[in-house]
Amino acid sequence: MTAARQLDIALEVEAGDWPAEGELEAVLQRVADACLAELNVAVLQPPELGVTFTDDDCIAELNRQWRGRAGPTNVLSFPLVELTPGAEMPPMLGDIVIAFETVAREAQEQEKPFIDHLTHLLVHGLLHLVGYDHMNDDEAETMEALERRILERLAIPDPYA
């Protein structure tokens, strides 16, 4: 069975000066379509994905609670099931949480359009949910190459160039 070309996405804007919800939904759908097309994994039904758009305060607390790290980060992924790359997707993938201030600051520092950087981080978060990681050099190389291919599908320049 080939990959479904969609995810069942539950979007929540909790805090932060995010674009309109309709724009965020459109970005998420593009990310989901591009990721699933590139991954070409088997699914029995469109997997459920939760995405929370929040601020640095909220993500800093999650980062402290779940990773034991102080301060905010740009994106956190919480897989419902630990997957290996290429495994069949379960009915529920998990959650992505993303922080507005950090995303905006990084986009400005890297001289990238905000939406391009947001898109990259959503791709990155989704890849974590389907089993990719960057804990060692080989994993990082694999994940970054996949991110580049997905972002190329979306006409977004290589974020690692």
User: Residue 136's domain is classified under what CATH number?
Assistant: 3.40.390.30
Tokens of 85: 């790359």
CA-based end-to-end distance of the chain: 35
pLDDT tier for residue 1 given thresholds of 50, 70 and 90: very low
Q: Does residue 2 belong to any structural domain of this protein?
A: no
Q: What is the mean pLDDT of residues 85-101?
A: 90
pLDDT tier for residue 4 given thresholds of 50, 70 and 90: very low
Give the SS3 label for residue 141: helix
Q: What residue numbers bound the domain in which 31 lies?
A: 8-153
- Residue 116 near residue 19, CB atoms below 8 Å: no
- Structure pTM? 0.91
Question: For position 7, what pLDDT does the model report?
Answer: 81
Name which of 4-8, 17-21, 113-117, 143-147 the model is least confident about.
4-8
Indicate the number of domains in the chain: 1
Query: Distance (Å, rounded) from C-alpha 156 to C-alpha 161?
Result: 12
Give Cα 11 distance to the centre of its chain: 13
Q: What is the mean pLDDT of residues 78-85?
A: 89
Q: Alpha helix (H) ranges present in 68-136?
A: 100-109, 114-129
Q: What is the mean pLDDT of the chain?
A: 90
